């Protein structure tokens, strides 16, 4: 069985490195992108990615637009993949509440709960 792969889209280099470390500790290969546009291109070019881990607040293409692009994709392997949101946005933010309806989506607020994210990766991906 091939190793599972996570695409991590995060504009903060320290958070990107931390999230990649958590994924790799869970036995999942980490593919990193620092912006949503590049992340979207990577998803389209890599049909074997199993999960998207994304920040919300990013320049250029934010996490909301990236998630909508994923869910609206005509390719089922992309449109149905689990998405893990890592954000500093308040959980009661109306736009975040709306995006959470596009399942399967899991939410973690910053600073990220390393153990919780590891469990999520192991159980949901």
- Number of domains the chain is built from: 1
Q: Which of 22, 98, 12, 18 is nearest to 55 (CA)?
A: 12
Report whether pLDDT(91) > 80: no
pLDDT for the residue numbered 67: 97
Domain of 46 in residue numbering reads as 5-124
Report whether pLDDT(124) > 90: no
Look over the chain and give the mean of its residue pLDDT values, rounded to a whole number.
93
pLDDT tens across 96-105, in order?
888 888 888 9
Would you put residue 19 in left (φ > 0), alpha (ψ -120 to 50) or beta? Answer: alpha
pLDDT for the residue numbered 1: 65
Q: CATH number of the domain that 110 lies in?
A: 3.40.50.2300
Question: What pTM value is reported for the model?
Answer: 0.95
């Amino acid at each position: 069985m091939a190793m599972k792969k996570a695409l991590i889209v995060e504009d903060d280099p320290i958070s990107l490195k931390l999230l990649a470390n958590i994924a790799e500790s869970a036995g999942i290969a980490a593919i990193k992108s620092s912006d949503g546009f590049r992340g979207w291109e990577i998803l389209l070019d890599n049909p074997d990615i199993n999960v998207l881990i994304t920040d919300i607040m990013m320049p250029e293409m934010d996490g909301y637009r990236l998630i909508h692009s994923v869910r609206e994709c005509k390719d089922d392997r992309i449109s149905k993949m689990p998405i893990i949101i890592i954000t500093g946005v308040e959980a009661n933010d109306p736009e975040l509440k709306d995006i959470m309806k596009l399942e399967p989506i899991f939410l973690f607020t910053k600073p990220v709960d390393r153990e919780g994210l590891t469990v999520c990766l192991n159980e949901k991906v």
